[in-house]
Structure 1
Amino acid sequence: MLSKRVFSLLCVAGIAVNGIGLFSGVMMIDGALYALIAKNMVLSGNYEFLTLHGFDWLDKPHFPFWCTALSYRIFGIHDFAYKLPAFIFWLIGALYTYLLARRLHGRNVARIAVLVYLSALHLLLCNSAVNAEPYLTGMIVAAIYHFYRTYREGTFSQLLFGALWAALAVMTKGIFVLIIVGSGFIVLWLVRKEWRQFLNYRWYAAVALVLVFILPELYCLYRQFDARPAVEVFGQTHVSGIRFFFWDSQFGRFFNSGPITGHGDPFFYLHTLLWAFLPWSPLLLFAVYFSFGKRRVAMGHPLLWGSFLITFLLFSASQFQLPHYLNALFPLVSIWTAQLLGNMGRLPANGTMHRIQWYSGMVIVILLCALIVLFHGSGWWVFGIITVGVGLAVLVLTRRVSPSNTFLVSYAIGLLIGIFYGGYLYPGLLTYQGGDRMARFINAHIAEEHYPDRLYVLDLEIENFMLGFRCEVPLQAIRSEKQWDAINDGSLLAIRPEALGEIPDRFEVEPVASFGAYRISRLTSKFFYYRTRDAQLGEFRLVRLKKR
């Protein structure tokens, strides 16, 4: 289906589209939060403690913050430096998707799998709005690849690399990721009745190596929390960072018994997968269908569908659910979908599969054009013309039923979605982050206004994350009455208007500047439509506190 030259050209195009997000800003909430915590690391010179607004922070492990801090030290503290390490790990995920697919199904399927990976919707989105998932996506498929080679070859070097990648994943998201890495092997051994694998010393050695490799994380958690019982986290003292790492942050969320809780829906990940894996999700459903029908040429490898199925069911049973959790499984389902495409000519209903992908592409092109007009961002008519032109060309050139055309129409539409989001919608949304706009205002007026050496904020206001990352003045969160007493006359405070009542009466509030603000990670139709957008904007104010 793909010659080496065509594959290389399509790879370059896919990587370029995903790379658009490197040169745009950081989005709230997770992106701005992680960027700020890594910034605090660099400014304080303390790489053991995770802090936010002057307080200890306990949620995610250290490894992504270390990577970001290193990038800051090399390139400076800005958006590109924050996003680059995640992008590199996402690229590593593409490489290992190819290597694993080639081991399982050959070079042709491997090439298709990489291109499916490059054009899957939610991976494209996360390369603009960066969080921990691009790191995790690369690490998990890398660990699975090296452990698969350990299973086939029994070499210690492959075991060592597998354990190292698995440990990095644990130091990125927590111990729960080992279920994603290991569940596929358990299913594989059960399907092939390889009972001796359960007693193979190599797998127990792998667990031991993972525990050794995560010692830096455990050391930092012990130093920050277990060795400092007076530190207050989640409104409590005597909080064990090591216990949180091994239990509360993972199983506590799963059972909804930890300090961070959610509300689960057993069908959440089913409908999430249908849109997050666009434009390939219809073909994935066909792959599942043919696997149950025991069509050997389309049956997924037990290593792939075993890991996917068990993890998917566990995620669905969890009470804490977020769409980007599925991203770690995308290399596996990309290979499964690629196997279907690579053998599509030998399957029944290939005409039906082609027509579904072609008409889905047409619907997506129409939808993108409508969204461009409704959002009405900068240069909307240019993007509209490009979308119509490219979309029509792709649809016309891929009318004829063939596996190659089915693949090409899907890949082109996937990249078109990526261009729409990364080049048009995402930059437009960023202009409505009030914390970002306030920070740029403060930075522009620091010298002439003689601003104080710190900016006060109320604790837990999400705009503060973006403000803290962008602002050149350090932030200090107010959590107690004692902190109000310590504020000097003339200090600056960033605050939402509805929170003005929390300011003690002994302060007179003097307005400095006001900025429109919206939580863009939670879009609504009224905000998206340009004619009703202004009415949905909140306000983020910069005020000066004068003692009466």
Structure 2
Amino acid sequence: MNYNRLLPFAALLVVYLVGAFGVDIMDIDAAQYASIGREMADNNEFLEVQFREKDYYLDKPPLLFWVTAMILKIFGATNFAYRLVPILSTLLGIYAIYRFTKIYYSEQTAYIAALVMGSCQAFFLMNHDVRCDTLLTNCVTVAIWQLAEYLKHRKWSHFIGAFVFVGLGMLAKGPISVIVVGAGFFVDFALKRQWKNIFDPRWLIGIFIVGIVLVPYCIGLQRQYGSHGLYFFFWEQSFGRITGENEWNNSPGLFFQSHNFLWSFLPWVLAFIPGLVDFIREIIRNKFRLDASQEAISLGGFVLPFMALSTAQYQLPHYTFVVFPLGAVITARYLSKLIEHPSIGAFRWVKIGLIVTTCVMGLAILILSTWAFPLENIFLIIVFGLLAVLIVQLYNKKRPAFSQLVFAPLLTAIAANLVMNGHFYPSLLRYQTGSVVGQEVAKIHKAELPNFVIYDLAPEGEYNIFHSALDYYTSRITPVIRTASALKTETSKQPKLVYTDEQGYTSIKASGSVFEVVNQYQNFHVTGLTLPFLNPAMRSTETRPRYLIRIKS
């Protein structure tokens, strides 16, 4: 085995781990999921998902909560603990896309597909801002690999593995797991005219296997929510966003996901687009027929779910990340073709496209690390500088075609995200005061932790102050007090350490309580970046004050 081929993956893992250890968990979603997992670890209620001691959280299936709870029992509530299993799942997913691609293409194409998958911007993001999509994406990728292996070798171990991972994908985020796998293989069977595969009765056994995997969650849903819970999971939560049954609606527009793909598949997006066109053109030239040695699983599994998700009435950028591994296969088959024939004109244009994305990413990192949050870490500066020099050298036309089209953009992604995970996100998360205060209280004011509360004057069900990061880092459910009279009653019994916003601070001052400001912070909702916030001169206009107050009486 050539261990040098593993070095790029080791570099990717290093960047993942820098984010895993050094970046605090972001509000709202990731911190909420981490907090639910921590609560599950405490109450051992694995079948019935609870959020802040209430049967409240129906929106997502429990796989992420389950694995989080089990890991937290071992390592405690840390940044790394929450991200450990998702990162391990990503390593498995990268291996799975390599093995899947190798079934139909060359070793080189499989290697490129694995590199593209692990280094696209979405995967760097998914492995520190961990939501349900990380486990979903990797479970779906393993399921596709195993099913392709089954169709080639007809081994029951592959069949069972495929449907177990389809079920785990459903436990990660619902029926989208079935949709992606089903769309990919349906298109492949249709183009090969393999009608017997479409109507193979053995798929009923697969459905039974998926059902077994889902049994524990279905029991929990029935206990908590009755038949509505089952209906929500199997239909409303996913398909209801397309049919309009689901009440969530942010009017995203038909091209919302297409626009987000332009940044989330960097640095490979300008190689993917011609690769997709080339794939479709090839199928048209073959009169919509494929022979048994070819595949359209990647094409069908990418295009059909992407189109379906683009019509949903409620969308977020990460909703389409589940198909990105198949996008990596489409990209890899095209890049491999260009590498084998570097004299064709498309080689030059794709290289120019990759250089453009490299320059865009480099310029963005330069702006973020010199203007928005100046980088002072000498080690990071030196490493980034050396990588930048190497990237320029790799784009030299005298270098092998593989270096120009694969290693150069790969190192661009590694260099950019090393700075993002090692500097930008930690700097940004200083303005997420929930995690900052949670860690401060847990470490510095640990003796007062039993008397630590949130004072939020927003009505029940509304949040001026997000509390999930506080709950996670303090390893407790932080009580929320919502009225001045309730706070006065509580502080008359014993002193309180209070986390509040400007409205709460004004209320405490007006109450006549004896208090001291332990610390003051500037808060910003970090997942909604704005240009004024990034501008140091205007940042104060975007942030809002938060306070840690000790009320004595």
Q: Normalized against structure 1, the TM-score is what? A: 0.89
Q: Is the 8 A contact 1:453 1:473 kept in 2?
A: no
Residue number in structure 1 paired with 2:36: 37
Aligned partner (choices 474, 477, 488) of residue 471 of structure 1: 474
Deviation, 1:301, is 3.2
Aligned partner (choices 268, 272, 280) of residue 256 of structure 2: 268
CA–CA separation in structure 1 for the residues paired with 2:514 and 2:190: 68
Deviation, 1:390, is 2.2
Deviation, 1:285, is 0.8
Q: Structure 2 counterpart of 1:202, which letter?
A: R
Local SS of the residue matching 1:539: strand
Residue number in structure 2 paired with 1:163: 163
Aligned partner (choices 272, 283, 292) of residue 280 of structure 2: 292
The 1:74–1:115 alpha-carbon spacing in structure 2 relative to 1, beyond 3 Å, is same
Deviation, 1:343, is 1.5
Residue number in structure 1 paired with 2:440: 441
Aligned partner (choices 321, 340, 343) of residue 337 of structure 2: 343
Deviation, 1:452, is 4.0
Deviation, 1:486, is 8.2
Deviation digits for residues 33-58 of structure 1 (CA, Å, limit 9, x no counterpart): 11111111112232223222332222
Q: Is the 8 A contact 1:434 1:540 kept in 2?
A: yes
Residue number in structure 2 paired with 1:18: 16
Deviation digits for residues 272-322 of structure 1 (CA, Å, limit 9, x no counterpart): 11111111111101111222332899x993111011110010011111111
Q: Is the 8 A contact 2:83 2:130 kept in 1?
A: yes
> Which sections of structure 1, spanning at least 5 residues, go unmatched?
227-238
User: Would you say 1:140 and 2:134 are equivalent positions?
Assistant: no
Residue number in structure 2 paired with 1:277: 265
CA–CA separation in structure 2 for the residues paired with 1:474 and 1:312: 38
User: Would you say 1:68 and 2:71 are equivalent positions?
Assistant: no
Deviation, 1:185, is 0.9
The 1:46–1:39 alpha-carbon spacing in structure 2 relative to 1, beyond 3 Å, is same
The 1:487–1:257 alpha-carbon spacing in structure 2 relative to 1, beyond 3 Å, is farther
Deviation, 1:477, is 4.0
CA–CA separation in structure 2 for the residues paired with 1:321 and 1:219: 29
Q: How does 1:209-224 map to 2 (within 5 A)?
A: 209-224=209-224
Deviation digits for residues 342-387 of structure 1 (CA, Å, limit 9, x no counterpart): 1213354212212222243234323321221112345167645543
Q: Structure 2 counterpart of 1:275, which letter?
A: W
Aligned partner (choices 306, 309, 333) of residue 312 of structure 1: 306
Residue number in structure 2 paired with 1:495: 500
Q: Structure 1 counterpart of 2:123, which letter?
A: L
Q: Structure 2 counterpart of 1:496, which letter?
A: D
Residue number in structure 1 paired with 2:392: 395
The 1:455–1:173 alpha-carbon spacing in structure 2 relative to 1, beyond 3 Å, is same
Deviation digits for residues 185-209 of structure 1 (CA, Å, limit 9, x no counterpart): 1111111112222221111221222
The 1:467–1:451 alpha-carbon spacing in structure 2 relative to 1, beyond 3 Å, is closer
Residue number in structure 2 paired with 1:366: 363
Deviation, 1:521, is 0.6
Deviation, 1:257, is 2.7
Deviation digits for residues 442-493 of structure 1 (CA, Å, limit 9, x no counterpart): 2245455x45456245454353111111124531345899988985634554
Q: How does 1:408-423 map to 2 (within 5 A)?
A: 408-423=407-422
CA–CA separation in structure 1 for the residues paired with 2:244 and 2:385: 46
Deviation, 1:66, is 0.7
Residue number in structure 1 paired with 2:315: 321
Q: Normalized against structure 2, the TM-score is what? A: 0.88
Q: How does 1:507-522 map to 2 (within 5 A)?
A: 510=515, 512-513=517-518, 514-522=520-528
The 1:483–1:208 alpha-carbon spacing in structure 2 relative to 1, beyond 3 Å, is farther
Residue number in structure 1 paired with 2:542: 536
Q: Is the 8 A contact 1:456 1:491 kept in 2?
A: no
CA–CA separation in structure 1 for the residues paired with 2:444 and 2:192: 68
CA–CA separation in structure 2 for the residues paired with 1:487 and 1:222: 38
**Percent same amino acid among aligned pairs?**
24
CA-atom RMSD in angstroms? 2.9
CA–CA separation in structure 1 for the residues paired with 2:386 and 2:145: 40
Aligned residues: 531
Residue number in structure 2 paired with 1:258: 246
> Which sections of structure 2, spanning at least 5 residues, go unmatched?
none
